[in-house]
Copies of this chain bind each other. A is one copy, B any other.
Amino acid sequence: MRTARVTEATPDASFLYERLADELGELVTRGVLRGGDRLPSVRRLSEERGVSVATVLAAYVLLEGRGVAEARPKSGHYVRARSAADPPVPSVARRAASPARVSTAAGADDLIRAMIDGRGLVPLGCAYVASELLPLRKLNGLLAAVAREGAMLGGGYDELRGTLQLRRQLARRAVAWGTFLEEDDFVTTLGASEAMHLSLRAVTKPGDIIAVESPAYFGLLRLIEGHGLRAIEIPSDPRTGLDLDALDDALRTAPVRAVLASPNFSNPIGACMPDENKERLVKMLTRREIPLVEDDVYGDLAFDGTRPRPAKAFDTAGIVLLCGSISKTLAPGYRVGWVAPGKFRDAVEKLKFAHSVASPTPTQMAVAEFLAEGGYDRHVRKLRRVLAAQSQIYREAIARHFPEGTRVSRPQGGFVVWVEMRGARNAVDLQLRALDRGIAIAPGPIFSARQRFADCIRISTGHPWTPRIERAIATLGELAR
């Protein structure tokens, strides 16, 4: 086992035992340690690392809490066996033959509202990371400093493209995404939602047909509905994402005006499109001059630690509108997002002005400071290790508690899992009964333009594992029977 990680100077405030637990957890995530492997004895690890016995013990307890390790009486600590518990993944999602208007199930909006505004509920519905996993104290501290020091902050409207300091930081980060973008290639937005909204408005008009993944994030479907567009649902493979052959077929048979996709850790299934697929996708669309609206909000949260490139990295003609935000990694409530709209920049900028003039300056400034200060990479490194472990724990719990034959997606990043329950036929009903029991989930049909996936639910894995969540998963399993 490498020792470099623990002994290196780490400027962040996490405790030694947490770092040790993170490191061991990562070895499990990466498959170096597997289910059933014995962990080093407390004494041996203490000597090897030059840390106290108490520190090692605390790390092991933490790993137990996270469901990664288990203590066996008189034998020591072991990596929890997974193979038996690891559930099968859903089959390739089903295919839509023809374009359809997005139809909202009666009451679906109430369901979304319950899911999002559901304070006090067990938070398995809305896709956000638990506050305690986010660097809110630091970010809020930077906001306080920005507000204290910028005497005239907020006087006058911001630049139409957004705060320059933030766009500079985004241009700097874009290099890590494998793209080359300059500060003027960005327009900042109110989260990625507004970025997608403006992008769709810029490249389509009501009645147009667009291609979307199936299942797709319900927020995107609501946008499509709101814009009066029709959607062709393209099946999405749980591992490699959008089925490009199916997309190719669709492009041949219908006048598709834009494609909407999340190549990196698509919500809800968590697929990651291989680079060669991204390249093929962009080439296919460039040839036909069809814009790609790319949702990359989960890109920084790869479980294996390698930040995948966005499809934008393969864009030579400016047809990709890359949408991102800090909502999944720093602070959803700051509503800071952006779009790099390629050749549609002027159109997007014009729409941004018409819709909301500009975004708020103070929150953008604070995020720019956070990105500039250099703590972002370290934070994200830690966050994705935690999320990888949580994802696995949730998956196993679902396998334990749900009926035989249940399939669970095996995401490669992000913090949602997609659960396919054999024989179940009414996920909306399941959601309502879960709400009655104080549990929020997202029902399958809201992820489809035609209300498919009645046998599926999406479960958020963004909250640390607790007995309360375990009980909620058990309750859901009962309700699913």
Contacts and interface: CB of A to CB of B under 8 A. Distances in A.
A152 B136 contact: yes
The residue among A128, A332, A334, A360 with the most chain B CB atoms within 10 A of its own CB is A360
A242 to B, nearest CB: 22
A40 interface: no
A146 to B, nearest CB: 8
A468 interface: no
Nearest to A137: B151
B354 A222 contact: yes
Contacts of A362: 140, 143, 333-334, 362-363
B333 A155 contact: yes
Given A226-B351, A335-B359, A150 B155 contact: no
State the copy count for this chain.
2
Interface stretch (A83-91, A191-199, A440-448): A191-199
A197 B136 CA distance: 31
Given A109-B350, A335-B356, A351-B226, A156 B140 contact: no
Contacts of A356: 189-191, 193-194, 197, 335, 356
A225 to B, nearest CB: 8
Interface stretch (A30-38, A157-165, A393-401): A157-165
A228 to B, nearest CB: 7
Given A190-B359, A226-B354, A154 B126 contact: no
Interface size class of A (residues with CB under 8 A): 35 or more
A337 to B, nearest CB: 9
Interface stretch (A15-23, A111-119, A286-294, A303-311): A111-119
Contacts of A201: 226
A279 to B, nearest CB: 31
A143 B140 contact: no
A154 B193 contact: no
Interface of A: 109, 112-113, 116-117, 126, 128, 130-131, 134, 136-137, 139-141, 143-145, 147-148, 150-160, 189-191, 193-194, 197, 201, 205-206, 219, 222-223, 225-226, 228, 327, 331-336, 346, 350-351, 353-363, 366
14 contacts: A109-B350, A113-B353, A137-B151, A140-B154, A144-B147, A154-B333, A190-B360, A193-B356, A194-B356, A333-B361, A334-B361, A360-B360, A362-B362, A363-B363
